[in-house]
Structure 1
Amino acid sequence: MLICDDEEELAHELGEYFTSAGWEVEVCIAAAAAIDRLQRFPAPQVLITDLRIGPVDGREVVAAARALPKDGPPPMIVIITGHVMNSAVAADFDSDTLCVKPIDPEELSAAIESFLRLPPT
């Protein structure tokens, strides 16, 4: 799992939560670092990224994840944000799930587990 959020405390709290749940987690607080990590093998199974990461739009991180070689299943992509209109949906950001801050780690974990149990399309 790769978590990218420029709110360092939130990123590390989510990292600790998912590590304690058995995930192997990497945390980045800059979009460039997340994009660099995505381009190295192996790709993470799940990407959690903020929509606004400093001067970079989180969509750039999502685009890097979507551009990964198709030699395995694509990562699940979760957008987390505090800056989204009520009418927004995950598909607006080419993500699989959209979570509005404040994040409930248990709800996020349940959404990830549910998504990962779906049969491949």
Structure 2
Amino acid sequence: MDVKTKPRRLVLLVDDDIRSARVFVRMLREDGFDVEVAHDGAHAIGRLSRAPAPDVLVTDIQMPHADGIAVAKYARSCNPTLPIFMVTGYPEIVAARAKAFDPEPRIFTKPLDYPAFAKELLRTDT
């Protein structure tokens, strides 16, 4: 690999809304990320158990089988510094629960302001 070529970062996107996930994946890929999708919390936890580990977790909160908080807790048990982005229609409730994390996840409200989200996501690229 050329020293100037930076590998694409892997985002695990967890969202039970297939249409929203499809659009989200397209935008993330256009911004230079590799993306894997899990459509419920249980599949996300299973995916987090396998290599390669994602570089970033983006999760909805309300999903079947395990909510986004459970997914985030498991992700942090695997990688304590993993950047986590939570997308929710209930930011106040999530913010209170997110205080248990260190570092705290970044919380974005639905409908998602993708340019603001992408700017913050790109800032995690260190």
TM-score bracket, normalised by the shorter chain, equals 0.7 to 0.9
- The structure with the largest alpha-carbon Rg is 2
Give 2:38's aligned residue.
Answer: 28
1:84 and 2:88 matched: no
Identity across the alignment (%): 30
2:78 counterpart SS class: coil
Give the one of 104, 110, 113 matched to 1:104: 113
For 2:27, which of 10, 17, 22 is the aligned residue?
17
Q: 1:31 to 1:105 in 2, by over 3 A?
A: same
Q: Report what 1:114 is aligned to.
A: 123
Distance 1:41 1:52 in 2: 25
Superposition deviation, residue 85 in structure 1: 2.3
Q: Structure 1 length normalisation: TM-score? A: 0.82
Distance 1:40 1:21 in 2: 25
Q: How many residues align?
A: 114
SS at match of 1:53: coil
Residue 88 (structure 1) shift? 2.9
Mapped to 1, the partners of 2:75 and 2:114 lie a distance apart of 22
Contact kept in structure 2, 1:43 and 1:75, CA below 8 Å: no
Question: Which 4+ residue blocks in structure 1 deviate beyond 4 angstroms?
Answer: none
Using the TM superposition, give the Cα deviation of residue 69 of structure 1 relative to its aligned residue in structure 2, in angstroms: 5.2
Q: Distance in 1 between matches of 2:112 and 2:13?
A: 13
Unmatched 5+ residue regions in structure 1?
Answer: none
